[in-house]
Amino acid sequence: MEPNILLEALIDEAGVSRAGLAAHVNRAGRARGLSLRYEHTAVARWLKGQRPRGQVPDLICEVLGDRLHRPVSLDDIGMACPGGGASGPASTLTGFVERATALWRSDEQQRPHVLASAAVTGTTAVMPVWEWENPPEDADVSRAGTTRVSPADIAMLRAARSHYELMYRRAGGIATRSRIVGFLNAETAPLLRGGYSDALGRQLHRATGGLVAVAGICAYDSDAHGLAQRYFHQALRLAKASGDRGLGGYVIALLVNQSLFLAEYRQSVAFAEAALRAAGQDITPALAADLYAMQAKAYAHLGDGHSALERIRRAESEAGRIRPGHEPDETGYVEPGLVNVQVAEALLRLGDLPGAREHAAVAVRTPAHDRGRVHRLAILTHIELRQGEADRAAGTAAEMAERVRGMESQRLRDRLRAVREDLIASRCADAERAAELIEGALRVPL
């Protein structure tokens, strides 16, 4: 069962407690000749995803509708499908918007069941990708809301995406997540519920998709993998509504990266293939290069050296076609040197230390934003230690420890811990001093 965030959002909006809702449902049941004795514990079970039997879901709609002064449906409370709880399908774009904004609200309120949810696997993880790739498409995304959306609103959302992405790169996802989620609730949700034409609506859904993707990145960087995955799935649905296949390919690249971290290597390969296949001519060289490079890492983990090397060749070929200024904002993360560090990781996994060292050194020599540079220095440190150059690795690690100061990122902390353990294992005096520098960086609370 998944938490019923739709019901939770409506209870909050109605301003009723769990005990109060139970009492109202009991009273409404008596009016229908039913003898109900629900308490707050029953409402807690409904919020966890349980669907009550009989007429009770209808009674919940009736009670909440009376308090909110508008009709409330079973879809609205996440109980349209028996046993489905909050995971029942939102068959319309309107239903998706309500479900998405309910998640944003629960995230901003730091609901434990949302923050601690695990990433789904199997069919549940694959279906959003399959639905993005296959018909039906959204024929009309217009909406007749009271607040009219303007092109200036779209420009604001695009500017916000760039702002929060830059904040993430400089300060990390932990520091950025609460800010971008607050923006989604305060500024973006009212626009999605506003009024707009089909053409403007597609721009709105595209701009929102870019923002939601960054929220997912921040959740991933905070170790909230179930939440991150839900944001990525939302961004993929928004990309489909926008009609922008390139944006969808970018979102799938984020899912590929998460799958790699979660050791779902075959899923990583399959997702990347779906993005490359479905995005078609809309995929840019930068995005194609990153997808091929991540596939190379996945194949390396699977022990398929032939396929890994073949994907490395494709990644390098696409990287050579990148034209600065001709890529969308979202693929700006594919900076010069990124493919090199991805290839270095794949070659390191395959045991090709000289090749990995060559690519990692190129990546470190290439300018990058602070976060990217920390990642590149970490990979080079690992390789230098594997090659027995502990003194050199100590210098590389010391620079990495200096660069990471001020960043609140669980992923970078994980990387620092791994480097520190390798340095300590080398038993080199300089390496031990570098390990102490890393220890100092890790003491900074997140």
The pLDDT tens digits of the residues spanning 405-432 come to 888 999 999 999 999 999 999 888 888 8
| 3-state DSSP percent of the chain in helix, strand and coil, to 5 | 70, 0, 25
Has residue 15 got a pLDDT over 60? Answer: yes
**Residues 175-181, mean pLDDT to the nearest whole number:** 96
Banded model confidence at residue 69, pLDDT cuts 50, 70, 90: confident
The whole-angstrom separation of Cα 186 and Cα 263 is 36
6 against 91, higher pLDDT: 6
pLDDT at 430: 85
pTM: 0.86
Of the pLDDT bands very low, low, confident and very high (cuts 50, 70, 90), residue 195 is very high
Mean pLDDT of the region 233-240:
97
User: Given this model, what pLDDT does residue 162 score?
Assistant: 96
The average confidence (pLDDT) of the chain is 92
**Angstrom distance (rounded) from CA 250 to CA 281:** 14
Q: What is the rounded CA–CA span in Å between residue 340 and residue 362? A: 7
DSSP string, 365-429: HS---HHHHHHHHHHHHHHHHHTT-HHHHHHHHHHHHHHTTT---HHHHHHHHHHHHHHHHHT-H
pLDDT of residue 91: 54
Q: Is the pLDDT of residue 85 over 50?
A: no
CA–CA distance, 264 with 121 (Å, rounded to integer): 9
Q: Pick 435 or 345 by higher pLDDT.
A: 345
In 32-92, which ranges are continuous DSSP H helix?
40-47, 56-68
Residue 225 has pLDDT above 70, yes or no: yes
Higher pLDDT, 146 or 306: 306
Asked if the model's pLDDT at residue 63 lies above 70, the reply is: yes
Query: Distance of CA 138 to CAs 71, 109, 208, Å?
Result: 25, 32, 16
Token output for 382: 């690992």
pLDDT at position 76 is: 85
98: pLDDT confidence band, cut at 50, 70 and 90?
Answer: confident
**In which residue are the tokens 């300089």 written?**
430
Please identify which residue in the block is written with the tokens 């700006």: 332
The end-to-end CA distance of the chain, in Å, is 31
303 Cβ neighbours under 8 A, 6+ residues apart: none
Residue 81: band (very low, low, confident or very high) from pLDDT cuts 50, 70, 90: low
Q: State the pLDDT confidence band at 177, using cuts at 50, 70 and 90.
A: very high
Residue whose C-alpha is closest to residue 308's, from 271, 372, 261, 351? 351
> Which pLDDT score is estimated for 445?
58
State how far the alpha carbon of 87 is from the alpha carbons of 116, 135, 234, 255, in Å.
Answer: 17, 21, 13, 20
Distance of CA 415 to the CA centre of its chain: 19
Q: So what's the pLDDT on residue 444?
A: 66
In this structure, the number of other CB atoms found within 10 A of the CB of residue 18 comes to 18
The one-letter amino acid code at 312 reads I
pLDDT of amino acid 90: 40
pLDDT for position 86 = 39
353-365 vs 338-350: helix crossing angle, rounded to 10: 160
How many angstroms separate the CA atoms of 316 and 377, rounded?
Answer: 21
DSSP 243-299: T-HHHHHHHHHHHHHHHHHTT-HHHHHHHHHHHHHHHGGG--HHHHHHHHHHHHHHH
